Structure 1
């Protein structure tokens, strides 16, 4: 039995286990969740670099897709459509000790462009040009 526990423990990292626990808490809250407060609280917990990226992306989503609802998703900032499906999300670098944050779109985002298109972007910091590109993608995702 000890062998099985040891093998299970190595399957998921501590950060992945924490994300799963966050998801359980989010599901328990259900419709009672205050998505904006939860999202802003998660952003406030981030290190300076991730926080700057998250605040900028939150502003971009709010401005360019006001119908998307802020929420947390596996303990990370996310924005969902009226059906509650996450359209876009931010994975902070610090969450998984990664070299960069990533901003991604789920399959409900309407980004289709031919047979292949990007759905996730590495982000180390945001320039004005990056912000303009993300704003365009966010608008397209909800069009």
Structure 2
């Protein structure tokens, strides 16, 4: 439901969640910050159910296999994975977060998916299967320059 601010209740909640993410790591550096962010990402993945939980778990596993240099964290409450500069490369936006028909595996501008003058950066996922896993694995590899 929209309000006079133009944001839905879900969007406002996501913004509040992002502010809390930033507050929770304020003053932390190095390994302490990474540990706190890893814990938050793991909790975000574990909190998801159904297809959302399956996709988040799959993405978490793939990033660990293909892109272990990416650091788990949360991004507006979503499970996310960032480069050493803290810039998000890939994240999962669950369908349940905004009550949408499908969740998306999305890549931010720091992902190396460039392909000519136009390329995809967000992929709807309604089921986890071998083909989906192979495609996400290839996208994550490409996003970090290994594909």
- Given the two structures, how large is their TM-score scaled by the length of structure 2? 0.88
CA distance in 1, matches of 2:73, 2:79: 6
Q: What per-residue deviation string (whole Å, max 9, x for no partner) do you get for residues 32-54 of structure 1?
A: 54111101111121122211111
1:27 aligned partner: 22
Structure index of larger Rg: 1
1:7 aligns with 2:4: yes
CA distance in 2, matches of 1:14, 1:46: 19
Task: List alignment gaps of at least 5 residues for structure 2.
Answer: none
More helix as a share of residues: 1
CA distance in 2, matches of 1:49, 1:118: 22
CA distance in 2, matches of 1:131, 1:103: 11
71, 85, 88: which one aligns with 1:86: 88
The RMSD of aligned alpha carbons is: 1.2
CA distance in 1, matches of 2:110, 2:84: 11
How much has 1:105 moved relative to structure 2?
Answer: 0.3
Mean alpha-carbon deviation: is it higher for 117-126 or for 23-32?
A: 23-32
1:40 aligned partner: 42
User: How many residue pairs were aligned?
Assistant: 136
Structure 1 runs (4+) greater than 3 angstroms displaced: none
Give 3-state SS (helix, strand or coil) of 1:27's partner: helix
Task: List alignment gaps of at least 5 residues for structure 1.
Answer: 1-5
- Given the two structures, how large is their TM-score scaled by the length of structure 1? 0.90
Contact 2:107 2:121 in 1 (8 A): yes
How much has 1:29 moved relative to structure 2?
Answer: 2.1
